[in-house]
Amino acid sequence: MFIFDFRKVTLSSLFFIVSFTASASDLLSVFDTDEVLIAAHRGCWKGTSENSLDALEKCISLGVAIVELDVRKTKDNVLILMHDETVDRTTDGKGAVAELTWAEVSKLHLKTENGASGKITSRTVPTFIEAIKAAKDRIIINVDAKSELYAEVFSELSKLNMVEQVLLKKPVLPSDPPLTQDKSFRGSIVMPIISQFENDATALIVPQLEHAPKAMEVWFSDINYLKKSAELAKEKGVFIWVNALDVAAILSADYVDSKALKDDGNTWQQLIDAGADIIQTDEPEKLVKFLKYK
């Protein structure tokens, strides 16, 4: 049996990296394929910086389908890319985003990757507008924003005619109507979150299939729950999103990136075999290699 080895396979040996400008409708065509899609958590930050324009551009160059970006608001109401409540971890600054002005944040420099090394780069914190302009017609965006920011996020997306390029998600309960009918998600790619910690897969999924979304995210503690969810969703052609993030291992029964890197991608393959169509990862480049090889 041949074993896939990340150390011996380069991207250039598998395919040519191409960056191109498409359209929103072209981007959405990925949901009409049978390919496994990659969602890059906080951008492709390995070798760049988390939630940076460079991390966004790297995702595009890798051919990643979806990039997840975190949005917060400064003291003077400027939307920026930042995951944490404070700038401490990822920049050379200190303090809560909500207590800093854009003028103050704009002078900060991002650290390498997720900030763990402490090394400072020349990269600066991007505004949300800068990021979505860079992404327009090039990559699907999963916006992770606090609920109170969605109206402002939608406003900026609407100005650039980008609402349909953005994926928004929300946990649902059995009594909830189809999320695709929620006016607050108007025009965007809607993704209900189905959680084993809340209820049976059938009870959660069937109501959502009345007006089926393009995708559903599944949180599970037992991979059989994922398999059942995928069986139900695929009857309507709905993609299944799973998280392979070490920081969210509880949401995927510990089927995470770090294990995939140690077992030559077998962990990712188990998720795919169980029905995953979209894998959110902190290792997008290695997952690209694995999927292209497979």
Question: Does any domain span residue 7?
Answer: no
The boundaries of the domain holding residue 71 are: 13-293
Question: Does any domain span residue 129?
Answer: yes
Query: 276, 226, 280, 282: which is closest to 258 by C-alpha?
Result: 282
62 by DSSP, 3-state: which?
helix
Q: What is the pTM of this model?
A: 0.92
- What's the rounded Cα separation, in Å, for the pair 233 and 215? 8
Question: Does any domain span residue 150?
Answer: yes
Query: 138, 128, 133, 151: which is closest to 79 by C-alpha?
Result: 128
The pLDDT of residue 127: 98
Question: Does any domain span residue 2?
Answer: no
The alpha carbon torsion through 27, 193, 245, 67 (nearest 10 deg) reads: 20
Query: In whole angstroms, what separates CA 83 from the centre of its chain?
Result: 13
Backbone angles phi, psi at 74, to 5 degrees: -75, 175
Given CA atoms 183, 78, 115, 110 in this order, what sign does their dihedral have?
Answer: positive
- What's the rounded Cα separation, in Å, for the pair 269 and 255? 10
The pLDDT of residue 186: 85
203 by DSSP, 3-state: which?
helix
How many domains would you assign to the chain?
A: 1
The pLDDT of residue 7: 52
Residues 289, 62 contacting (CB under 8 angstroms): no
The pLDDT of residue 4: 52
Question: Does any domain span residue 4?
Answer: no
Question: Does any domain span residue 186?
Answer: yes
Question: Does any domain span residue 1?
Answer: no
Query: 282, 195, 194, 271: which is closest to 238 by C-alpha?
Result: 194
Per-residue confidence in pLDDT tens, the chain, 294 aa: 345 554 554 433 333 333 334 566 789 999 999 999 999 999 999 999 999 999 999 999 999 999 999 999 999 999 999 999 999 999 999 999 999 999 999 999 999 999 999 999 999 999 999 999 999 999 999 999 876 898 899 999 999 999 999 999 999 999 999 999 998 888 999 999 999 999 999 999 999 999 999 999 999 999 999 999 999 999 999 999 999 999 999 999 999 999 999 999 999 999 999 999 999 999 999 999 999 987
Q: Which residues of 8-21 are buried (b: 16+ CB within 10 A; e: fewer)?
A: eeebeeeeeeeeee
Question: Does any domain span residue 8?
Answer: no
Q: Any idea what the CATH number is for the domain that residue 106 is in?
A: 3.20.20.190
- What's the rounded Cα separation, in Å, for the pair 289 and 62? 10
